[in-house]
Amino acid sequence: MELESALLGEIQLALVALFGEQPFPTAQIEKTKPIFQGDYTLVVFPYLKISQQNPENTAEIIGQYLQNHSTLVSEYNVIKGFLNIVVNPNVWMQFHQDHWNHSPFASFPSGGNKIMVEYSSPNTNKPLHLGHIRNNLLGYSLAKILKAGGNDVVMANLVNDRGIHICKSMLAWQRFGQNETPESSGLKGDHLVGKYYVIFESALKEQTAPEIQSAIEGTFIATNEITQTRYRAILEQLNAASDEKSQAKAQDALKELVRNDSELMRSCQQMLRDWEADNPEVRQLWETMNQWVYSGFNATYKRLGVEFDAYYYESNTYKLGKDLVQEGLRTGVFYQKEDGSVWIDLSDAGLDQKLVQRSDGTSVYITQDMGTADLKYEDHHIQKSIYVVGNEQDYHFKVLFLIMSRLGRSYAPGMYHASYGMVDLPTGKMKSREGTVVDADDLLQDMVDTAKAKTQELGKTDGLSDSELQELYERLALAALKFFILKVDPKKRMLFNPEESIDFQGDTGPFVLYSYARIKSMLRQAPSGWELPVSDIHLQPVEIDNLKQLKAYRETLIKANAEYSPAVVCHYALDLAKSFNRFYNEVPILKETDTHKRNFRLQLCQFNAQVMQHALGLLGIETVEKM
């Protein structure tokens, strides 16, 4: 931005010199389009009344003055009313000299906002899967980008460790587990608990299949009158449905009603009530199984390379949410129905009525989210609270933010949902109930195995020890995985293809890593003294283009911070790697016989390596020195 500001100042001086002291429209420049020669473009139409000339002549007059009087401008050209300005190569050389060995040159001063980025948010009834991987990678990278932007960032993990879904795994283990443990089974703890979640759903499906059929046929008898009344209403909707979509919707509602009325689900609901009543036996089982899961999660987090500054547990925050329910009832924000359930009416905001506490007094998701929001603010006095959660929860967060605003929370305007799209595979959508998710641990190992096979196939293992090779495979795999996921705009749904992600020649993490390793290899071979200052170098066009790309890094960080998007950094890293490789292929570096040119080019290589490493670091990707 310093160059743009300086150039705007020179343009302002030119206007005064050419047309006299008067209130000029604010000068605006933009990057010149690639099809034209130039670095920056000035639109001259706002100055035609002052110049009393046509657009071409006005641009010509301003361009000629800048070329003659500004040290920043070497050339110009005019396309209709557009003045394309070519920056003096000395400017790029000065930029290089100022920054080539000062990493990161694009750092921002501290003193920004206090921001909490909440991500991961796993459920303790199943292991992490591919969807969690996108969540963790987005959250961790976003936190690092915001830190690079000068903000004070707290990385938080809200663990969903209570609720009906947790009770499903617990109940299945009670009934079918035969005291199986991670040690006796040889399974990671999160995998073992996830196994029983799938067992529960399978048993529930088997138990309810005949009842669902009878419900569709109209002969279902519920266990209580309230459910029976609901059943009759849904059955009427099914019988009145005139199209397939309406029929499918009514049938799904019947299935869910039968599921919830089954013996298994009623036992689960009783277990949840017992948990909230601090039943010792239920609490002990819950603590044991949760510890199994936490141990498994921590191993996955470590391998994935993500971390947290603070942990929150819904088991500790749901009671805080209940207190807020009572506060909302006192202040008229919430209302209570005859069955004792508590609701909020958001119809005036274009939404609907939302349940905040069940009729039996148990919490729902939003109850604990309300309590957690208060606790996070009390702990850290954050100015902005960013929730990295999939877009299937868009409605939930609209409701949460409205509730906290109506409860008068001062921090409510700073709550933000960093919504992202789901991850699909070539085989289709993942489903937790059926156990068809892609396990995170399995995926990570598959990626390492693929990285190993690809590297050996390309013959890039010479001179590396076994331990160095293993580290290389691990870092290549994680670079491939992280880059492939993060380069997609977070808001978009994405298709993950492991084979494509690890291509050394495509728009991939391994391609950027290879570019970095190529630089480090050259620097190891470089003769001593290459770090000495150089001057009077005639820059080649490819060198200027590379310096322009390096200079764009600060703008990239500003954009990534503003858009909360690691994808912006990914695409910059790709563009920089491509720019470096053009420079590497078009001019000699180590073979250059002119010492000053060789030293400059080696310094430019070092500059590229520093910025690549910094950009990859913001994506959570570790570089490799040898490939």
- pLDDT exceeds cutoff 50 at 283: yes
Please give the average per-residue pLDDT across 24-48, as a whole number. Answer: 91
Say if residues 605 and 581 touch (Cβ distance below 8 Å).
no
Query: Sorting pLDDT into bands at 50, 70 and 90, what band is 287?
Result: very high
- pLDDT exceeds cutoff 70 at 336: yes
Residue 494, phi-psi category: left (phi > 0), alpha (psi -120 to 50), beta (remainder): beta
Please give the average per-residue pLDDT across 456-485, as a whole number. Answer: 89
**Domains of the chain, first to last:** 2-87 (3.30.1360.70), 440-618 (1.10.730.10)
Q: Are strands 353-357 and 82-87 parallel, antiparallel or unpaired?
A: unpaired
Please give the average per-residue pLDDT across 3-14, as a whole number. Answer: 93
139-188 residue pLDDT tens: 999 999 999 999 999 999 999 999 899 999 999 999 999 999 999 999 99
Rounded to whole angstroms, the Cα distance separating 587 from 594 reads 12
Residue 364, phi-psi category: left (phi > 0), alpha (psi -120 to 50), beta (remainder): beta
Q: What is the DSSP letter of 439?
A: B
Q: Are strands 114-118 and 82-87 parallel, antiparallel or unpaired?
A: unpaired
Please give the average per-residue pLDDT across 322-330, as a whole number. Answer: 96
CA distances from 50 to 29, 43, 76, 408, 554 (A): 19, 14, 21, 53, 35
- pLDDT exceeds cutoff 50 at 68: yes
What pLDDT shows up at residue 365? 87
SS3 content of the chain, % helix, strand, coil (to 5): 60, 10, 30
Q: What is the average pLDDT score of the chain? A: 93
546-583 residue pLDDT tens: 999 999 999 999 999 999 999 999 999 999 999 999 99
Rounded to whole angstroms, the Cα distance separating 566 from 418 reads 12
Say if residues 164 and 197 touch (Cβ distance below 8 Å).
no
Tokens 């059926």, residue? 434
- pLDDT exceeds cutoff 50 at 22: yes
Rounded to whole angstroms, the Cα distance separating 77 from 451 reads 49
371-420 residue pLDDT tens: 999 999 999 999 999 999 999 999 999 999 999 999 999 999 999 999 99
CA atoms within 13 A on the CB side of 2: 10
Query: Sorting pLDDT into bands at 50, 70 and 90, what band is 1?
Result: low
Tokens 């291509």, residue? 503
- pLDDT exceeds cutoff 80 at 461: no
Cα 441 to the chain's mean position, in Å? 20
On the 0-12 / 13-18 / 19+ scale of CB atoms within 10 A, 483 is: buried
What pLDDT shows up at residue 107? 75
Q: Are strands 384-390 and 423-424 parallel, antiparallel or unpaired?
A: unpaired
What pLDDT shows up at residue 427? 63
Closest CA to 175 of 86, 96, 88, 285: 285
% of the chain at pLDDT higher than 90: 83
Please give the average per-residue pLDDT across 460-475, as a whole number. Answer: 87
Sheet with 415-420, strands from edge to edge, namely: 310-313, 152-159, 114-118, 384-390, 415-420
Query: Sorting pLDDT into bands at 50, 70 and 90, what band is 463?
Result: confident
Residue 144, phi-psi category: left (phi > 0), alpha (psi -120 to 50), beta (remainder): alpha
Closest CA to 295 of 441, 133, 136: 441
95-113 residue pLDDT tens: 999 999 876 667 788 778 9
| Higher per-residue confidence, 165 vs 426 | 165
Give 296-344 as a 3 state SS string: HHHHHHHHHCCCCCEEEEHHHHHHHHHHHHHHHHHHCCCEECCCCCEEE
What pLDDT shows up at residue 402? 97
Rounded to whole angstroms, the Cα distance separating 280 from 270 reads 14
Please give the average per-residue pLDDT across 524-535, as a whole number. Answer: 93
CA atoms within 13 A on the CB side of 578: 10
Query: Sorting pLDDT into bands at 50, 70 and 90, what band is 65?
Result: very high
Contacts of 259 (CB under 8 A, 6+ apart): 204, 208, 265
What pLDDT shows up at residue 103? 63
What pLDDT shows up at residue 434? 46
What pLDDT shows up at residue 104? 63
- pLDDT exceeds cutoff 50 at 11: yes
CA distances from 131 to 296, 490, 500, 598 (A): 17, 12, 18, 47
578-624 residue pLDDT tens: 999 999 999 999 999 999 999 999 999 999 999 999 999 999 999 99
Tell me the H-state helices in 381-508.
394-406, 440-458, 466-486, 498-501
Please give the average per-residue pLDDT across 295-312, as a whole number. Answer: 97
- pLDDT exceeds cutoff 50 at 433: no
Query: Sorting pLDDT into bands at 50, 70 and 90, what band is 13?
Result: very high
Say if residues 348 and 341 touch (Cβ distance below 8 Å).
no
- pLDDT exceeds cutoff 60 at 430: no
% of the chain at pLDDT higher than 70: 97
- pLDDT exceeds cutoff 70 at 436: no
What pLDDT shows up at residue 318? 85
Closest CA to 162 of 266, 315, 319, 22: 315
Cα 343 to the chain's mean position, in Å? 32
What pLDDT shows up at residue 435? 46
Query: Sorting pLDDT into bands at 50, 70 and 90, what band is 513?
Result: very high
Query: Sorting pLDDT into bands at 50, 70 and 90, what band is 212?
Result: very high
What pLDDT shows up at residue 626? 86
Query: Sorting pLDDT into bands at 50, 70 and 90, what band is 6?
Result: very high
